[in-house]
Amino acid sequence: MSRKRFDDMNCGVAQALETLGDWWTLLIVRDAFFGARRFSEFEHSLGIAKNILAARLRRLVEHGVFERVASGATGERHEYRLTAKGQALLPVLVALREWSDEWVYGRGHEPIIFRERATGRRLPRLRVTNRDGEELKSKDILATPGPGATLETRQRLTPRTKD
């Protein structure tokens, strides 16, 4: 059975999943944040099959998340480095880790703790806030059509009336 494609879905989450939508891809990006650069480093760290890793790295390069750069004088070896687009995934990975720490592992059982390199202090929890810095809950947020919304998206976001 092939996986569902989200190419035609007019939604930022769906399009992000189209680019990053399998577990290997986010784990490869995670390992890049941890310092992995070479194919063999990703392969060893993840225990991933070479063909799967090659396909995921190729896709990440095609989508501009990684750049492939020569790493030796001969030009035969390459490294994969996060681009600005890839670096922008840091909050996504931090949010996923925080969710897992709370809802999968439970507080006090976190396998990895992120700390600020300069101070050694634990990173504060990510929050969705308003312009005054006050934390917002989902009930406080309204999704409205943006400038790129299709008619279908506009209809999906139209408030439903009770019968």
pLDDT for 14: 79
**Domain boundaries defined on the chain:** 12-87, 90-140
Q: Which residues of 25-46 are buried (b: 16+ CB within 10 A; e: fewer)?
A: bbbbbbbbeeebbebebbbeeb
DSSP code at position 75: S
Provide CB contacts within 8 A for 6, sequence distance 6+: 14, 15, 17, 18, 21
pLDDT for 162: 57
Which residues in the chain show pLDDT less than 50?
A: none
Q: Which CATH architecture has domain 12-87?
A: Orthogonal Bundle (1.10)
Residue type, 163: D
Q: Model confidence over 80-94: pLDDT tens digits?
A: 999 999 999 999 999
